[in-house]
Amino acid sequence: MIASELSNPSEAADPRTVVIEARGLTRYFGNKCAVDSISFQVPRGSVFAFIGRNGAGKTTTIRMILGLLEPTRGSARILGQDSSALQPATRARIGYMAEGHPVYGWMRVGQYAGFQRGFYPHWNQEIFGSVIDFFGIDPRTKAGHLSHGQRAGLHLAMTLAIEPEVLMLDDPATGLDPAARRSLLEAMIYFTRNRERTIFFSTHLLDDVERVADHVAVLDYSVLRVCCSADTFRERVRRLVARFPSEPPRKLPVIPGLLRVTRSENELCLVVANLNGRTERDLEEIGALTVDEQPISLEDALIAHVGRQGDKSFFLDTAGGTQ
Amino acid sequence: MPAFHIHVTTGAGTPIYRQIVDQVRLAVATGTLSPGEALPSVRSLAEQLVINFNTVSKAYAELVREGVLESLQGKGFFVAQKRQIYSRGERLRRLRHALDSFIHEAVFLDFSAEEIRKAVDEKLAELDWQTKPLGEQT
């Protein structure tokens, strides 16, 4: 796993620098493990992408961080408080957009403002109005008549109007058309104008991750595979192409950090994390004529981390953003 | 002079900050951006391209380190006066590196040495050299 250093493991992190912290967070549903002892820290001011395919445990993790679901083991903290005992004043500093953007169909968009503001001590009607406007929504429309993208816009307006310090977005872009998806990203960038604010968003859309995220964590079948800055991730994951005079040998030397191998008639293509100078030498020792490093996209690097042999559908199905 | 616009694409082998660095370097090298000209602020470029602020900061910081841009406290980023921060040896090394990929591609496409030379000459003639390259003064 590519991991950032956790600060002292026995003490809670400093809430001035760490906004969200998970420690050995685990959740079972019956005897099925949904989240398996994951630990990570979300730095203040970061845009943190929580990546994983459907069913990987992203929503479960978010609900535990927000104190909406009890962990089976481990704990989470947000804004310096234990998630299982969040006080209303702390909750009021967190904007949460739930998956799928459910609405009450009979309520008009304008009425939502009055409804939502009853739950929060702080409400900025101007922000609500401008986000509604940004998504091209008429406040008189009944929520049941909104498109999926407009429903996301309504949720975003309600979330941003409380002027939160932390945005928790559960799969905000799924199902949105390209224009609505871009509006969502624009709103996210706009939100981080204030560099003290933090966004934690789950997704499987890697274009979005590349654009807006500066930290990435990858959840794969309930286990955390990667957790580091987006730059570190890109720098550490490399692709090597080794050419051989004939068919490459079946048996490879032990290559530390090897994520994925594909072979063709006279080539081996390896995706390696934490590449060191030895790997090239090892490949030459088993008969490679040349070993070249090739650029790798963020998407390819992430797929190499979670894809298994014979299981290449991950992300590839969904990378286009159409579902 | 053509207006200067930065475009970024996602899903490429080149990270977004690197795409920005490359485009600014090219624009400065070819005179699309002149010394003293202001670049968009970090905030406005990030919002215009819909990318993380840190990505733009990182690209600008690298361009400042390379001597392509200079940062004026409180005013923003400007194209620096032309100067070379690399030694002649380092510049040659970088030139050869750039040539390698270009020549490989051209040979792969089955062009003759003569055709490649002609194409290079034509491209060089197109460049609008704003100033005599510093390299020729030494």
A5-53 pLDDT per residue, tens: 455 556 778 888 999 999 999 999 999 999 999 999 999 999 999 998 7
Distance (Å) of CA B22 to CA A185, B2, B7, B12: 24, 17, 11, 14
Same domain, B73 and B97: no
Same domain for B73 and B107:
no
What 3-state DSSP class applies to A12? coil
Tell whether B4 is covered by a domain. no
Q: What is the pTM of this model?
A: 0.79
Best residue in B47, B53, B57, B100 for a mutation probing chain A (most A CBs within 10 Å): B53
Same domain assignment for residues B105 and B128: yes
Q: CB B52 to CB A299 under 8 A?
A: no
Higher pLDDT, A35 or A250: A35
CA distance B131 to A288: 47
Closest residue on chain A to B43 (Cα): A193
One domain for residues B75 and B22:
yes
- pLDDT, one tens digit per residue, over A299-312 is 888 878 776 533 33
What is the total residue count of chain A? Answer: 323
Percent of chain A scoring above 70 in pLDDT:
92
Same-domain pairing of B22 and B72: yes
Give chain A positions within 8 Å (CB) of B12.
295, 297
With cut-offs at 50, 70 and 90, classify the pLDDT of residue B12. confident
* One domain for residues B71 and B103: no
Give domain status of residue B112, yes or no. yes
Cβ-based neighbour number of residue A142 at 10 Å: 14
Which residue among B11, B14, B51 sits closest to A212, beta carbon to beta carbon? B51
Nearest chain B CA: its distance from A184 CA (Å): 10
* B100 and B128 share one domain: yes
**For position A44, what pLDDT does the model report?**
95
Task: Kindly state whether residue B2 falls inside one of the protein's structural domains.
Answer: no
Q: Are residues B49 and B74 in the same domain?
A: yes
| Minimal-distance CA residue of chain A relative to B52 | A212
From chain B, the residues in CB contact with A297 under 8 A are: 11-13
Q: Is the pLDDT of residue A77 over 60?
A: yes
By residue range, what is the domain housing residue B48? 16-79
Q: How many domains does chain B have?
A: 2
Is residue B98 in a domain?
yes
What φ, ψ does residue B22 adopt, rounded to 5°? -60, -40
**B42 to chain A: closest CA residue:** A193
| Domain-embedded: residue B93 | yes
Q: Is A236 on the interface with B (CB under 8 A)?
A: no
Q: Identify whether B103 is part of a domain.
A: yes
A275 bridge partner residues: none
> Do B10 and A213 make contact, defined as CB atoms within 8 angstroms?
no
Mean pLDDT of B65-86: 87
Chain B hits for A186, Cβ within 8 Å: 47, 50
Per the CB < 8 A criterion, the answer to whether A95 and A164 are in contact is yes
Q: Is the domain of B26 the same as that of B73?
A: yes
SS (H, E, C) chain B: CCCCCCCCCCCCCCCHHHHHHHHHHHHHHCCCCCCCCECCCHHHHHHHHCCCHHHHHHHHHHHHHCCCEEEECCCEEEECCCCCCCCHHHHHHHHHHHHHHHHHHHHHCCCCHHHHHHHHHHHHHHCCCCCCCHHHHC
A82 part of contact set with chain B, CB < 8 Å: no
Question: Is residue B3 assigned to a domain?
Answer: no
CB contact under 8 A, B12 and A213: no
For residues A40 and A33, what is the distance between their CA atoms, to the nearest angstrom?
18
Q: How far apart are CA B12 and CA A138, in angstroms?
A: 38
> What are the start-end ranges of the E strands in A221-302?
223-229, 237-243, 258-263, 267-273, 290-294
Q: Largest alpha-carbon pair distance within chain A?
A: 72
| Residue B70: CATH number of its domain | 1.10.10.10
- The model's pLDDT over A178-211, given as tens digits with 9 standing for 90+, comes to 999 999 999 999 999 999 999 999 998 888 999 9
Picking from B40, B58, B79, the residue at the C-terminal end of a domain is: B79
Interface contacts A/B by beta carbons within 8 Å: 52
Asked if A317 and A267 count as a contact pair (C-beta separation under 8 A), the reply is: no
Asked if residue B7 belongs to a domain, the reply is no
For residues A67 and A86, the answer to whether their CB atoms sit within 8 Å is: yes
Give the separation between CA B138 and CA A189, rounded to whole angstroms: 46
pLDDT band per the 50, 70, 90 thresholds, residue A297? confident
Contacts of A300 (CB under 8 A, 6+ apart): A239, A271
% of chain B at pLDDT higher than 90: 53
Task: Look at residue A3 in the predicted model and tell me its pLDDT.
Answer: 57
Please give the helix or strand (H or E) that residue A130 lies within, else none.
helix A125-134
- Single out the residue in B37, B54, B79 at which a domain terminates: B79
- Kindly report the average pLDDT of chain B as a whole number: 86
Task: Calculate mean pLDDT across residues A210-214.
Answer: 93
Same-domain check for residues B75 and B118: no
| Contact residues on chain A for B15, CB-CB shorter than 8 A | 231, 234, 298
Query: pLDDT digits over B104-121, tens only?
Result: 889 889 999 999 999 999
Q: Kindly state whether residues B55 and B94 are assigned to the same domain.
A: no
Give dist(CA B56, CA B69) in Å, integer.
Answer: 13
Do the Cβ atoms of A224 and A217 come closer than 8 Å? yes
Residues B47 and B101 in one domain: no
SS3 content of chain A, % helix, strand, coil (to 5): 30, 30, 40
pLDDT at residue A199, rounded to an integer: 97
